Amino acid sequence: MGELKNVIVGQSGGPTAVINSSLAGVFRTAKMNGAKNIYGMRHGIQGLLEEKCVNMSNYIKSELEIELLKRTPSSYLGSCRYKLPALGEDDSVYEKIFAILNKMEIDAFFYIGGNDSMDTIAKLSTYAEQIGSPIRFIGVPKTIDNDLAVTDHTPGFGSAAKFIASTVKELSRDALVYDASSVTVLEIMGRNAGWLTAATALARGEDCSGPDLILLPELPVDIDEVVEKIAELQKKKKSVMVAISEGAKGLDGRYLCETLASSREMIDAFGHRALTGSGRCIADKVAEELNCKTRAVEFSTLQRCASHIVARVDMTEAFQVGASAVMAALNGETGKMITLVRKMAEPYICVTDVYDVKKIANLEKKLPIEWIDKDNYWVTDDFIFYARPLIQAELYPFMIDGVPKHIVIPD
């Protein structure tokens, strides 16, 4: 086992409810293994390039504060969306990064993020190899979208899925309250991968029918067929609920929101706005065709920062991948991502491993087609069997004076 003097860690891409648990895993494990300084990049690699770094021990001084960090949503260190240029294209950025890292006497570099972050780790570790730098580069997986290859799942997905499934149950109760027909359309994050939208299925149980239809980005949505199915469902039940991914596409391959909302968007003079959500589009279409009460609910950014309802399984695994990244660096690994490997499905047992980050970066893991029940616009039991263990158990925030307490870096 090697030694670590100074290490640096950054967070990148969209936040999750448990991304700071991975940061806590890196920090605590590096500290326990004798790292002298544990630096944090403010706003990822973009901040590093501006030498905006903090010495984390100045801010996180006790076990209590480590626990608080785990329970604080969004990226404690700040995030960025910065993609390194291709190697050989503009090496001045790489020279600058390594000059800064060498000046700080960094042994190991940890980056917590999704596909783009793994691309960063792949490039930096390749460049290090080229110039003969001993700095180790390890990726720590994180994304609510669950779209990273090789790893069984990604930390952040379980908590987002738990929030979504729990909320679907609550909204189902709400939708049933009046003795009248209604259609509720829930718009869920996931531009190309339907994992989170599929997670609405976890709401189904003996006390809840869950969504009636699940519209995923993996398969084209026949909107006329969907309206027909809703009309059919309305003969049997008052409240019909449809879950749709923000990235669902129509038969012509275009995003549904583009197809339906274009006329409305075009007259909008402001120009800065993203397209109206796919959920609103389905709700409009249903209202037009079936003349019944409709409601569109956007789950919005809350699904990635609702740390008041996280899955303890997810929180623990997020910590473990951070801790395992440090152990991998101690073992001399570089150019690797920590993966989660499901050793046993029932009872659920999961361990960490390391994997060549070049074989992961820039791939996008979609929901397997065989887990989609195309005819019924639903998911198969295989998906439920896969996802159910990931949303188990709870870990509540430290509540102070009625609201969750968070730890923040002072300005």
Sole binder of a copy of itself in the list 80, 121, 138, 144 (CB under 8 A): 80
Nearer to a copy of itself (CB atom), residue 115 or residue 239: 239
User: Helix 256-266 and helix 278-290: axis angle, to 10°?
Assistant: 80
Question: Which range of residues in 24-32, 73-81, 105-113, 335-343 is near a copy of itself by CB under 8 A?
Answer: 73-81
Catalytic residue at 145?
Answer: yes
Sole binder of a copy of itself in the list 58, 96, 105, 178 (CB under 8 A): 178
262 binds a copy of itself (CB under 8 A): no
Sign of CA dihedral 146, 377, 187, 392: negative
402 binds a copy of itself (CB under 8 A): yes
Helix (H, G, I), strand (E, B) or coil at 326: helix
Q: DSSP label at 255?
A: B
176 binds a copy of itself (CB under 8 A): yes
205 binds a copy of itself (CB under 8 A): yes
Sole binder of a copy of itself in the list 1, 134, 270, 346 (CB under 8 A): 270
What is the C-alpha radius of gyration for the chain, rounded to an integer number of angstroms?
23
302 binds a copy of itself (CB under 8 A): yes
Of 362-391, binders to a copy of itself (CB under 8 A) are 388, 391
298 binds a copy of itself (CB under 8 A): yes
Question: What's the CA gap between 202 and 168, in Å, rounded?
Answer: 9
Sole binder of a copy of itself in the list 5, 61, 83, 173 (CB under 8 A): 173
Who's near 204: CB < 8 A, 6+ residues apart? 210
Sole binder of a copy of itself in the list 115, 151, 307, 324 (CB under 8 A): 307
79 binds a copy of itself (CB under 8 A): yes
Q: Minimum distance between the CB of residue 125 and a copy of itself, rounded to whole angstroms?
A: 25
Question: What's the CA gap between 75 and 301, in Å, rounded?
Answer: 14
User: Using an 8 Å Cβ cutoff, are 282 and 257 in contact?
Assistant: no
Sole binder of a copy of itself in the list 291, 343, 346, 347 (CB under 8 A): 291
Beta strands in 366-405 (DSSP E): 372-373, 378-379, 394-395, 399-400, 403-404
282: its two tokens = 């389905």
What is the size of the binding site for a copy of itself (CB under 8 A)? 77
235 binds a copy of itself (CB under 8 A): no
- Catalytic: which of 107, 116, 119, 145? 145
What amino acid is encoded at 378 in this protein?
W
H/E segment holding residue 297: strand 293-298
Sole binder of a copy of itself in the list 207, 252, 346, 370 (CB under 8 A): 207
Question: What's the CA gap between 388 and 62, in Å, rounded?
Answer: 34
Nearer to a copy of itself (CB atom), residue 288 or residue 356: 288
169 binds a copy of itself (CB under 8 A): yes
Question: Which range of residues in 95-103, 159-167, 250-258, 346-354 is near a copy of itself by CB under 8 A?
Answer: 159-167
347 binds a copy of itself (CB under 8 A): no
User: Using an 8 Å Cβ cutoff, are 30 and 38 in contact?
Assistant: yes
Question: What's the CA gap between 147 and 245, in Å, rounded?
Answer: 14
Question: Which range of residues in 103-111, 224-232, 293-301, 347-355 is near a copy of itself by CB under 8 A?
Answer: 293-301
273 binds a copy of itself (CB under 8 A): yes
Buried b (16+ CB within 10 A) or exposed e, 130-157: eeebebbbbbbbbbbbbbbbbbbbbbbb
Of 27-66, binders to a copy of itself (CB under 8 A) are 42-43, 46-47
User: Using an 8 Å Cβ cutoff, are 254 and 247 in contact?
Assistant: no
Which residues belong to the active site?
145
